Chain A
Amino acid sequence: MGFLDIANVTKSYGAVEVLHRVDISVAEGEFLVLVGPSGCGKSTLLNMIAGLEGITSGEIAIKGRAMNGVHPSRRNIAMVFQSYALYPNMTVAQNITFGLEMHGVPKPEREAAMTRVAAMLQIDKLLDRKPGQLSGGQRQRVAMGRALVRNPDVFLFDEPLSNLDAKLRVDMRTEIKKLHQSLKTTIVYVTHDQIEAMTLSTRIAVMNKGYVQQLGTPKDIYDTPANVFVATFMGSPAMNILPARVVMQDGAPHAAVIDAAGQTRHLRFSQPGMAGWAGREILLGIRPEAITDPEGADRKSGNIQHLSNTVVVTEPAGADTFVTMTLSGRDVVGRMRADVTVTPGQSFGFTINMDKAVAFDPDTEARIAP
């Protein structure tokens, strides 16, 4: 049994089930990120943990105590909202201490806790201001202060960074990560941004259409995505997905793809087990960083495949250059070193690290794990 247990939880509005049998167990000190596109049910799940929405069936327990029907304020949780939800009529100090006041904490203790948190978040100079007088980043800190001061068992974050500009978002991300590392608290964090999910979490639950698509460490999720949805949702640029046919050549399974010139090309699988799919169609998934120029190929890889093909577009992005080719009728992006020289229309020798390639069943879109 974990610190926070979500067991078989479903949620329905009337006849419509919006969350289907969610099962997640979170250990103490873990940083769980719920990620998915909007409408996937991640915020609903968070609200259910918070007690802001009822549980249709199943159970949510914190520290072994069932929380179904327990009032939000009795769950010893704290939550940071997307809009921060700072009380506009109260000062920063009042905002931070309101929860303590509601829980009957005496004033001196409240003051002490507030001073501590304010110092930690560097908002001690803002205590007398009203939220309307603060910048976005400052509001974010106050919202976190309000959560921290309660010293809760579980922190809940509902897309806390999505209202910040890009630079501030990166800074605050680091800040949250530091905070987690120093406080060792249990956090459930909702975001639609897969980079936040990857960078912050100890574990990720990728959600779509009310289902948890995959639950695992960032590395699991990235390297062995459970299905096409997870594969394409996590990672930027997204994983290339292209139809291929499994053929046997020299006793080893190959993926047969078609290049820009209409020629069939064979790429050998690293997994011999793919032989079981011989003669059948699959979806081949290759991350852009697994498609490089010959010099940029991963030296540790045991299976580098070469493929020359026509370049469609090149996009220099500073640290890397993204090069697009056409394979099996799809645009396939590769990630080259910055100083590679390619021009559109030219034929170029791509190297593909087939160790990192994954295959999906075209019918179920589930990953084929040979």
Chain B
Amino acid sequence: MRGYLGKTLTIAAVLAMSAGIARAEGSVEVLHWWTSGGEAAALNVLKQDLQKEGIGWKDMPVAGGGGEQAMTVLRARVTAGDPPTAVQMLGYDIQDWAKQGVLANLDDIAAKDGWDKVVPAALQKFSKYDGHWIAVPVDVHSTNWVWANKKLLDGLGIAQPKTWDDFVAALQKVKDAGKIPLAMGGQPWQEATMFDGVVLSVGGPDFYKKAFIDLDPATLGGPQMVEAFKRMDQLKGFVDPNFSGRDWNLATAMVIKGDAAFQMMGDWAKGEFLRANMKPGVDFMCFRTPGTEGDVTFNSDQFVMFKVGKDQQAAQNAMAEAVMSPSFQSSFNVVKGSVPARTDVPDTAFDDCGKMAMAQLKQANDKGTLLGSMAHGHANPAAVKNAIYDVVTANFNGDYDAERAAKELVKAVALAQ
């Protein structure tokens, strides 16, 4: 099977080379969870880019959770001594794998192409281990977004809320009008995504950093955290009774249809609005969680490069370069709804929300308020992240009140470390 396949691919590679512009050879095997719909099609661009260079693409898609299933497969592959060339990964997982000493070193191309200058420092924290480049970021998503149905808001005379109190007032107004104020899917990660924005809105970047990145127990259990949980309680008052277990895109659909006014969700939600032929600024609105203007909680998909045989290093390097090329960064992120992982990509191809996001990313990067998203594993390791999930979801589902939740949070985080 292997032999046969290898042969076919070699032939394919030879054909591709003879077709013209060949610089490298070999192939890359890519494990990822962009398995369906637009994002998979977007990744296909990368595949075609590489094929133009004569590099084969062995696709290894494994969907499930936020890449949970793919990480399981990765363990099996690494344990079997047969790691893929590149693996899509998020946040702290990258560092965890780097500790295992199984990743490749990309310093040479990084130096050649000057990645240090164009990739935001907050991203580099994940793309580098021990000062060496080990991964290439593909995109930057941010989670402190609110999406709104403009027609519904206009009809009710609600303007874009600027402060938390504005926001609560707006939600109340929608509720009084008999509509669902906040569309929400009750899955731990969705609740945590909301929590990202809420925590940031309560105490700003410093508080966020101290709580989620430094994991300072006093902050985790402090009055500001209690306040954050109280705001979660507040928000819960504005979701419909059937929120639990709902997929996020069904929640988005509620906003699109005008049944619900707002949704607090990452920028991947934009794709749903665009698909429904809605225009940003006209049919729907995108704005930062009130009170978090100028700050960005991000998560970034990266391709982590694993140590491979010498014969495949050229292909691996070529793939790293291709991912980092401004043209791919632009074309991929336009489709994906996110923004490029380098700050020097022109925003011409992006829509208004995208342009805004790119500008804010740059701004946050300069100000140092570009923060890893807790909900998406960019603030702390998986064990801690899930421990926080446990508490957030317990609070949101009414098991813990705000005070208790803050206490449990300290305990859970301590236990997971």
| Direct A–B contact present (CB less than 8 angstroms) | no
Q: Interface of B with A (CB < 8 Å)?
A: none
Using a CB–CB distance below 8 Å, which chain A residues touch chain B?
none
